[in-house]
Amino acid sequence: MDARTSRTPRPAKAKTAAAKARAGGPKPTPVGTKPSADGSDLLHATVYGELRKRFVTGRVMPESRLSTRRLAAELGVSQMPVREALRRLAAEGAVEIRSKRKIAVPEMTSTRFDDLLRCRMLLEPEAAEAAFPYIGPALLKRLRETDKGMGVAMRTGDVGAYMEGNFNFHFLIYSAQPRRTLVQLIETLWLQFGPYMRVVYGRFGTANLVDQHRVAIACIEAGDAKGLREAISTDISDGMGLIGTSGFEPA
């Protein structure tokens, strides 16, 4: 029997959330971002969203120094919204603000790395299984397309596109379920983990790993919620096994 057909009826609010997810799934939103009609708030949210994307997709390198002036010039804004965005990222553990001119990505130690991975193993499989009843045909199609794009990126050596696809694949699943706090906690982990993950994929690739994204898709197609949970868990642990103890130095 299909696991999705054997569940007990859901309250009206849950059905509404499921209907939205089946229409294609909500897009991940910046952590803590709130809509506002004020232009200044919108600018701050936009700058924060762009910097956040750079972290979760590994466009910011481990232990790199960040310049508010350079970032402001790249984004075409003043330094004020950049400083505000960096303060938010510091509160989430993505950067360390040591002084006005010394802003850096924190050092990745084996202890910190292990802590981040343990947290991912606790939260992400849980989010995937919670999302299972909300994944309909439209969202499943987007997951297939995203995984296909990742395959193209890996074959052509486009690590940036692979990283972005990897983030999109995971958060298309996690964001399908209605527990917003769970998604925000996972996003915070990716903010801290993203810069280092980019180095790992750039050095080693994923050629020798089973494509757990395809396994996850197959489990969704088969109505196997526990299998989806296991596929996401294995995907995370495979990444850790790829690294080894010598991979903590920046490239």
In DSSP terms, which residues pair with 97 in a beta bridge? 103
- pLDDT of 199: 72
- pLDDT of 248: 58
Q: How far is the C-alpha of 237 from the C-alpha of 209, rounded, in Å?
A: 11
Mean pLDDT (whole number) for 188-205: 77
Residue found by looking up tokens 């280092």 in the block: 196
Helices vs. strands in the chain: H and E counts, helices first = 10, 3
- pLDDT of 243: 57
The vertex-231 CA angle with 60 and 53, nearest 5°, equals 20
Per residue in 222-243, pLDDT (tens digit) is 999 999 999 999 999 887 666 5
- What are the phi and psi torsion angles at 65 (to 5°)? -90, 140
Per residue in 126-157, pLDDT (tens digit) is 999 999 999 999 999 999 999 999 989 888 88
Per residue in 153-188, pLDDT (tens digit) is 888 888 888 889 999 999 999 999 999 999 999 999
- pLDDT of 208: 55
Per residue in 37-70, pLDDT (tens digit) is 456 788 999 999 999 999 988 888 888 899 999 9
Spell out the residues 6+ positions from residue 162 whose beta carbon is closer than 8 angstroms to its own: 150, 153, 154, 201
Q: State yes or no: pLDDT of 28 exceeds 70.
A: no
Q: How far is the C-alpha of 114 from the C-alpha of 147, rounded, in Å?
A: 27
Of the pLDDT bands very low, low, confident and very high (cuts 50, 70, 90), residue 250 is low
Mean pLDDT (whole number) for 106-116: 85
**Cα-based distances in Å from 73 to 40, 54, 60, 204:** 18, 16, 16, 33
Spell out the residues 6+ positions from residue 64 whose beta carbon is closer than 8 angstroms to its own: 104, 105, 195, 250
Q: Which domains does the chain have, with CATH numbers?
A: 17-28+109-243 (1.20.120.530), 39-104 (1.10.10.10)
